[in-house]
Structure 1
Amino acid sequence: MLAVLVSVGVLATALTVWAVVRAARDQPVQGGQLPGMIAVEAALVVQAVVVGVLQAGGHPVPDGILLWGYVITSLCLLPAAFAWAFVERTRWSSVVLAIAAAVVVVLQVRIWQLWQ
């Protein structure tokens, strides 16, 4: 589980930095960032599967509903940010993507805290 959390965290941090740099340069989200978003989203899907399998195998979690709330929220953030970026073609699309990716990193920390 830790390897998946770290992978998601590293990918989401890289995407956050990339979006912050583009926002600082007053540039919108570009098509080249889509593979980065897809990589983070794919890692999040793997994480959801791992969490599901481990919970089905009997791993105790103090608050399963909160854990799944975090997992589902992390899965929904980047597609929502992408939809916003597709419509909003200003630097604010990069700001929205940076915030969404940063929230994914924070949610990974919370998931790890619940998993412990």
Structure 2
Amino acid sequence: MLWGYDGWFWASVVLGTISCVLCVVQTLRGRAPDDYTQGSVLLLEAFLLVYGVGSLLLPVLGPSPSGSLLEYWGYLLTALLIPAGTFIWSLVERSRWSTLILAAAGPVVVVMVYRMNFIYYYQ
């Protein structure tokens, strides 16, 4: 079933992994959030915004959902809040621990997109 996921899922895996690894490395180096770590999380947010636009068009241009659309949109809205929240946190608290909080956004986005994909196609 894993290979049945679309390119959006695999894009989230690549972006989320790169963001997480970058932020963890900077945390281990003892660095406060910088343009690279915050930018990687903003890139995740931009990806989710584009994913949201695609989600608006998907029922019209693609297959109808097999699961609950309410649950799907709940996951999407929650996923949109995670990178935004970690970014704001990193602006407020400028320590290396904020960089670790930024690192958490990547895996969370991957899991949320995985679940959204499962709800839409396989449930």
TM-score of the two chains, using structure 1 as the length reference: 0.88
Provide the C-alpha distance between the structure 1 equivalents of 2:16 and 2:10, rounded to a whole number of angstroms. Answer: 10
The alpha carbon displacement at 1:24 in A equals: 1.6
2:78 corresponding residue in structure 1: 73
Q: Tell me, which stretches of 5 or more residues in structure 2 are unaligned?
A: none
Q: Is the 8 A contact 2:37 2:102 kept in 1?
A: no
Provide the C-alpha distance between the structure 1 equivalents of 2:100 and 2:70, rounded to a whole number of angstroms. Answer: 30
Q: Is the 8 A contact 2:42 2:84 kept in 1?
A: no
Query: Which of 4, 11, 17 matches 2:15?
Result: 11
SS in 1 for 2:33: coil
Matches within 5 A, 1:1-116: 2-57=6-61, 59-116=64-121
The alpha carbon displacement at 1:100 in A equals: 2.0
Provide the C-alpha distance between the structure 2 equivalents of 1:95 and 1:32, rounded to a whole number of angstroms. Answer: 13
Residue correspondences, number: 116
Worse-superposed segment, 12-21 or 31-40: 31-40
Q: Tell me, which stretches of 5 or more residues in structure 1 are unaligned?
A: none
Pairwise CA RMSD of aligned residues? 1.7
Runs of 4+ in 1 over 4 A off after TM superposition: none
- The amino acid that maps onto 2:75 is Y
The alpha carbon displacement at 1:47 in A equals: 0.8
Q: Is the 8 A contact 1:4 1:43 kept in 2?
A: no
Percent of paired sites with the same residue: 30
> Which string of whole-angstrom CA distances, capped at 9 and with x for unpartnered residues, describes residues 53-100 of structure 1?
112446123111111111111111111101100111111101111112
